[in-house]
Amino acid sequence: MHSTFIVGLIGQRWKSGAFLIHPFKLERDIPEPTQKTPKFRILKGQHILASILEWKSILASWPELHSADVATQVGLSAVRIRHLLKLATLHPEVIRQILSMPPNQAKKQISIRSLRPLCKLDREKQITVFRTIHSD
C-alpha cells in the first residue's frame, strides 16, 4: 500500500517572508504583502557613502532584508556590501564633511580604501585622522 500526505506548502516570497499553508485550508487566498520591497541602488554622481547611508537606512526599516538583498540589486557580492555598510559607522562629522564636498571632488579625493581603516578607530580619533589625511 502506498500513501502520500501533504503536510504543508511553503511559499517562496522570501523578500516578504516565507509562508506556510495548512493543506486543509488551501481554498483561502494567500495574503499579499502590504508594502513593496524597497529598491537598492547606487546613486550616480554621488560619493558611494551616500548610497551606503541610504542602504543602511532601508535595512534598518526592513529587518527581514539583509546585505544579500542589496548585493542582488546593485550587482556586488554580499561580502562587499557588508564591508561597505561598515562605513556607515563613521563619525557623523566625517560623513558630513565627505557629503558636503562637491561629488566629483569627493569621489576623486576620498576612496573607500582610505576610509576603511577609520572604522576601526574610536569615533573621536576618526575625525583627527580624517582631517590629517584629507586636509585641504
Mean pLDDT of 10-25: 53
Distances (CA, A) of 98 to 10, 101, 106, 128: 46, 6, 6, 14
Q: What is the pLDDT of residue 134?
A: 79
Picking from 5-9, 79-83, 99-103, which range would have the lowest pLDDT averaged per residue?
5-9
Mean pLDDT of 22-35: 53
**How many CB atoms neighbour CB 29 within 10 A?**
5
State whether the Cα torsion 5-7-8-10 is positive or negative: negative
Q: What pTM value is reported for the model?
A: 0.70
* Cα angle 41-44-49, degrees, rounded to a multiple of 5: 70
Mean pLDDT of 52-68: 93
Q: What is the pLDDT of residue 8?
A: 52
Q: What is the pLDDT of residue 16?
A: 53
